Structure 1
Amino acid sequence: MNKWQSFIKEYQNYLRLERGLSLNTIENYSFDIEKLVLFLKENNIDETPITIPEEIVQQFVYEISSKVNARSQARIISGLKSFFNYLIFEDYRTETPMELIEVPKTGRKLPDTLSVEEIDNLIAAIDLSTLEGERNRAILETLYSCGLRVSELVTLKISDLFFEEGFVKITGKGDKQRFVPIGKTTEKYITIYKEQIRTQIKVQKGFEDTLFLNRRGKQLTRAMIFTIIKDLVPKINLKKNISPHTFRHSFATHLLENGADLRSIQLMLGHESITTTEIYMHLDRKFLAQVLNKFHPRK
């Protein structure tokens, strides 16, 4: 069961750093997964988070349904759905074993998406009078314009920038590489940072090619990117719980809403499966109605 503990720990870090959840909430999420792990152990079932099939999870849900009330059952199922969706987001799985397992509607909130105006306001709130300010502007512009995972952002290399061709080379999960288009505005802010700010930093050995550096000349951490974003939220009185992933989610959503096809978005996000890309599509009913009215012959 060591495999489960390893993935649970990664998931806990994701909930803390990416989603900014409290320790108590994270413990509750983890407790739901531990119930499944205990079920596997008691029944001598040797499955990992990556290999466990839908049938095994259904057996577990059936068993707990006779032991807990409907509300507790719904919470456990929701917790497991969140865990397996995380595994899909991180490209550990291509599909969830929770697909056909229903959960009572409990008002579960979809991930927040930033509007273009909100993104502009966040970037405008950055204090550009500091060296870190110019860096942070380039960071947020890159997150949004390229739809990067935070891990891809902090490991981005200067040698990965192909501005003449209009692309950036991204190294994603499993060291798989892809080329993502980059806009002129983002190119401009990266260039300002690289030529005017980064040159003033004493770069530590081993980080000579790392694009975004901290004050000590080393690679930024995922937690630091999260903090940069969180510190901007109160400055514009934003009432949303956002993280670096919010910019990636907004990138995909805005592309879709403006007519981009899922296959193109899939390639830019670096997803192996189109099913994974669909999970990012935070579409409200109003937008779907607009699509129907615009394209259906019986509008």
Structure 2
Amino acid sequence: MIDTGDVRAAARRIGDRVRRTPVLQAGPTLWFKLEHTQHAGSFKTRGMFNQIVAAATRGVLPSAGIIAASGGNAGLAAAYAARELGVPAEVYVPSTAPTVKVDKLRKLGASVVQTGNEYAEAYAAAVEWAQASGAYFCHAYDDEDMVAGNGTLGLELLDQLPSGFDTVLVAVGGGGLIAGMIAALHGQASVISVEPATSAALHAALSGDGPVDVPVSGVAADSLGARRAGDIAYSLARDAGIASLLVDDKAIVDARRRLWDDYRQVVEHGTAAAYAALTSGTYLPAPGERVVVLLCGANTDPSDLTLT
């Protein structure tokens, strides 16, 4: 299982290939970690760099390059990391992937295949072609190297907020980010899962006996639309006893608008889910509780932010 040592090893492996993203203090006891300013627009760039470099170090990265499946962000991260490392990349995305993400994938030099209506269908097609082509399959979230790389975000937070913090709110799809945060912050802070009520794979896993398929829909499905939570995320979240919260689409849309109106931060709907836990009152911090909200992705069309 992934632990803090694995995350620290990932940080050394990644080095300065990723940005040290800033922290914005939004109140006396509230901070935003601006990870949406990361290369390729999301935290997943950390995990993808670690996954690809680790594969090369182990001698298992073929000349055929990498294949990834994604609702958008993991593919963008894979395309960016592959380009920077000089590795061919092919990315499978569902036909419902936002145009802004598909266009950016192509700009980053990746070959793009659109298939199926949701991430699970794109994933199945990508796995099949990886096996046939010999390319290295980079999982979007349920991979130890991916998780450890994502966790480097938590190490940055510990360094950036030396006086400490109590709680981190994390938007969850398949669970690759929250798994990394749990590993990085073990014994340092509480990590809380926030999911859309209509795409709640980790919540379903924690409410039952493990990961199960769940229906996926809603405004944040393009980035938090994993049909099933990753085994790594489930195991770490279960063992840590984390709280799992659900927010509805209205709260997500409102939180995204507030992030723009109040702080001029442009994020995608999935990212806004973490803040929605606070703005909707789903999570009520205790007096004096120091809370960090991870803003983890910005691959969105901002044209609707100023609509009334």
What's the TM-score bracket when you normalise by the shorter of the two chains?
under 0.3
Relative to its length, the structure with more helix (as a share) is: 1
Relative to its length, the structure with more strand (as a share) is: 2
- For normalisation by structure 2, the TM-score amounts to 0.25
Task: Give the number of the structure whose alpha-carbon radius of gyration is greater.
Answer: 1
- For normalisation by structure 1, the TM-score amounts to 0.26
